[in-house]
Amino acid sequence: MTPTVHPLPWRDPLTAFAPLAAEDGAVLLDAATPADPRGRYAYVCAAPSTVVRLRLGEADPFAALAALLPPTVDTLPDLPPFQTGVVAVLGYELGGAVERLPSPRPDDLGLPDLWAARFDTLAAFDTAERRAWVISTAGPEAAAAFAARLGTEPPPPPVAVPAPARAERTRAAHEAAVARTIAYIGAGDVFQANITQRFLAERPADLPAFDLYRRLRAASPAPFAAFLNLGEGAAVASASPERFLKLDAEGRVETRPIKGTRPRRADPAADAAEAAALLASAKDRAENLMIVDLLRNDIGRVCTVGSVRVPLLCGLESFAAVHHLVSVVEGRLAPGRTAVDLLRACFPGGSVTGAPKVRAMEIIAELEPARRGPYCGAIAWLGADGAMDSSIVIRTLCLGATGRIAAQAGGGIVSDSDPAAEYEESLTKAGALLRALAAEGPPPP
């Protein structure tokens, strides 16, 4: 099958998506950093043909995801890589479908552990070349009808309704959890575990979820920005800088774990000093290397023997609010394996668990007071040609069906971690989220 392609006059993806944002099942996979090759393409999806919502234990979530994929279609050249298929949010707790783990904490957000939607028609945007298309496997009429629904005028400024957040637990409690993790490391249980804290807010009735996303996007543009209306009053607003797994139609695999963080500074000299300190930090480099080794093992489960390599180790990447150390691990998917097999082999991402992964997740379950939900899970598109790209769900606001908003941040704890410094790092990472909730700063476009 070959999709229908309907060219569009250029407009910003945010503009195109705005009239659809309030619809259940509407998805914007954004291009908030067009200068970054990872943020080149954007996708607007709405009116899914099928939606799957699952809780852990109801069914095999990965089998359900595979069953949702449409029949294989031909990849069209010179277009963005996602050319119809499935968009999914995989909650962190789906790790319990892969490994034997403690039962998750009660759900206070009312979000599914798997939300997945099949889109037979979508709009795709190439922000580098300022070109756009509607792509459809449902025929020319469906493509033209979807094109007519897309916005052409920029939306008005988002409403300035604050939803200030409070920390879920005290600083002392978070530092005690970090100290307990360090004790586990000293006892030989793990080399590293990722410990986080939540900030909670109540969503005002007059605060549209998409407006909150636009405020976050302005505060922290990121290559894997995304907004997903999950229905039933729930949404995910993400400004993630981190790729989880990328798979092209030829079977090439890439993952880009982030470990190591420093804040950006307004003064150029101070900012350069922060970046230099991060690059020189033995602790941060060791933390990054541990996760690289974990991910080499994870993708190696489904890749051809001998194909896994590390072309970049501890490279510096700078974003709006932070500097990060980022590594790249590559491989080639083994014959007969699929994108869903790759997700199952690697889920959840090692950069948000620790190493060894299972024991680290047991420690997280013990020391964190709430389930993570979408946070530290993944947002993925899975194309009808077998390709996939996905992000780690960090720097993200989870808007629950219960009316509660959760922002979460933390970091990898190693033997020489300092609890006070780890607490401060979590505040740095949560900064843009908290500013978006507080409605601070100039209104975004």
Which pLDDT score, from 0 to 100, does residue 68 have?
Answer: 97
- Write the pLDDT tens digit of every residue in 341-388: 999 999 999 999 999 999 999 999 999 999 999 999 999 999 999 999
Type of residue numbered 82: F
Distance of CA 401 to the CA centre of its chain: 20
Q: Does residue 242 have an active-site annotation?
A: yes
Report the alpha-carbon distance of residue 167 to residue 407 in Å, rounded.
Answer: 9
Give CA–CA dist 156/107, Å, rounded. Answer: 35
Query: What was the pLDDT predicted at 442?
Result: 40
Residue 195 has pLDDT above 90, yes or no: yes
DSSP of 60-125:
-HHHHHHHHSPPP-PPPTTS-S--SEEEEEE-GGGGGGTS--PPPPPPSS---SEEEEEESEEEEE
**Percent of residues, the chain, with pLDDT higher than 90:** 90
* CA distance readout (Å), 139 to 42, 105, 284: 22, 45, 51
d(CA 263, CA 274): 7
Average pLDDT over residues 323-327: 92
Which of 246, 259, 357, 429 is the catalytic position?
Answer: 259
Residue 226 tokens read as 């995304």
pLDDT band at 444 (very low <50, low <70, confident <90, very high): very low
pLDDT at 393 over 50: yes
Per-residue pLDDT at 37: 85
Give the predicted TM-score (pTM) of the model. Answer: 0.94
Q: What percent of the chain has pLDDT over 70?
A: 99
Q: List pLDDT tens digits, range 95-118.
A: 999 999 999 999 999 999 999 999
Residue 36 DSSP label? S
427: closest CA among 414, 442, 408?
Answer: 408
Which of 242, 287, 362, 368 is catalytic? The answer is 242
Q: In the chain, what is the straight-line distance between the N-terminal and C-terminal CA atoms, in Å?
A: 39
**Rounded Cα distance, 119 and 110, in Å:** 24
Distance CA 346, CA 302 (A): 9
- The torsion defined by the Cα of 425, 429, 433 and 438, in degrees rounded to 10, comes to 40
Q: How far apart are CA 402 and CA 391, in angstroms?
A: 25
The Cα-based distances of 19 to 46, 150, 223, 234, 292 in angstroms read 10, 7, 23, 18, 41
- Show me where the domains of the chain are located: 4-167+199-251+373-408
Q: Is 246 a catalytic residue?
A: no
Contact by Cβ (8 Å): 333, 251:
yes
Least confident of 6-15, 172-181, 253-262, 344-353: 253-262
DSSP state of 326: E
pLDDT tens-digit map of 127-141: 999 999 999 999 999
Distances (CA, A) of 4 to 126, 135, 393: 17, 6, 32
Q: State residue 443's pLDDT score.
A: 39
Q: Which CATH number fits domain 4-167+199-251+373-408: 3.60.120.10, 3.30.590.10, 3.40.50.300, 3.90.105.10?
A: 3.60.120.10
CA–CA separation, 76 and 436 (whole Å): 38
Give the residues across from 323 on adjacent strands. 262, 318
